Amino acid sequence: MSQERVKVFDTTLRDGEQSPGCSMNLPEKVRMAVKLQELGVDIIEAGFPIASEGDFVAVQAVAAECRNVTVAALCRTAEQDVTRAADALDGAAHPRIHTFVATSDIHLEHKLKKTRSEVIEMTRAAVRQARTYVDEVEFSAEDATRSDVDYLCDVLDVAVDAGASILNIPDTVGYTTPGEFISLITTVKERVVRDRDVIISVHCHNDLGLAVANTLAALGAGARQVECTINGIGERAGNASLEEIVMAMRVRADRLPFETGINTSELYAASQLLSSIVGFEVQPNKAIVGRNAFAHEAGIHQHGVINNPLCYEIMTPESVGVPANSLVLGKHSGRHALSLRYMELGYDISASELDAAYRRFTNLADRKKRIYDQDLISLLSAGVKVRGEKATAAAAA
């Protein structure tokens, strides 16, 4: 079965960073952007330039550093917003202006306090203005899944006529369901896109735990760009998880005949890097990158996995970059085993640093039944060197 290409639009640095507790400083944003480029995403949404000077500078910095991907800047459908986004993207190798306005009546009445006709004119003006700065303009209809479908199609049609080549259909509040979303994307494809060279994108939130399911359903209906974040971080309950979308397509290619440019062996590294930057880990049972994703404790599971991992693993740890670790560290482990594990994690440990870490390790092992990699990392003093960016993805460096 032939596979169609799906573009991966990563918004970890914009929507993801808006998640409480997930703010990043400039060096951290650039570091994460470099990892996203290495991962193989097609578009990095680097920030919302009008929101703050910090966001403006971050978009500039990411655009300067990441030359092999499209860098997008978000803006409202307001003249000053579009100008600010264009200024931030000046010098980008592959710039995209991403402009948005709400289309649901609840947003129009209570947030924008605009009429439907006013929003249509705002859309037309903003997209036209954006096209004077860049060739690639994306338009998003905020709260699309709670919008009147006829009106939504009218707004999207105006956006395309004004020069937008990507139409994003966001499930802004995580309200839709897969079957309903399929119907909406099908309608947009038939009534708006038709035979025009326009990509349908989807941006799903996870308020009902359906972000990934809705995203995959939309692909089946014709969407060819997915907007997502590493570890699924984002507003409220988060966004669709990049690693889950990508691996669903890879593992279930029989049902999801799509391909991306993602180097899946870097997924775990990207997850770990983000965790180290924002300061908290994903939940242990998180699909793909959680520490229990490839762990087996029940005896019957262990027996099956020993005989053939396919009994209980639908993908290999190596396929997503999870390091194979046959060493079980506990209070009976010696310095050699500890040193070897630090080497596997990418740390250059001197003899004195190893001695100090080992003393702390044995004290911890007396109190804790299971020692995780993050525990080992926390035992190190701040000055220990890490070999390369891949190692920093496994730990804070």
Nearest by Cα to 241 from 229, 224, 251: 229
pLDDT recorded at residue 299 = 39
pLDDT recorded at residue 386 = 56
pLDDT recorded at residue 362 = 86
pLDDT recorded at residue 383 = 52
The sign of the dihedral angle between the CA atoms of 377, 381, 384, 389 is positive
pLDDT recorded at residue 328 = 56
pLDDT recorded at residue 397 = 37
Distance CA 125, CA 323 (A): 51
pLDDT recorded at residue 119 = 98
Alpha-carbon radius of gyration of the chain: 23
pLDDT recorded at residue 340 = 78
Q: How many Å separate Cα 313 from the centre of its chain?
A: 24
- Fold classification of 4-278 is TIM Barrel (3.20.20)
- Exposed e or buried b per residue across 195-211, where buried means at least 16 C-beta atoms within 10 angstroms of its C-beta: eeebbbbbbbbbbeebb
pLDDT recorded at residue 316 = 83
pLDDT recorded at residue 343 = 82
Which stretches of the chain drop beneath a pLDDT of 70?
1-2, 295-313, 324-332, 381-397
Distance CA 255, CA 265 (A): 22
Q: How many Å separate Cα 115 from the centre of its chain?
A: 34
**Structural domain boundaries of the chain?**
4-278, 328-385
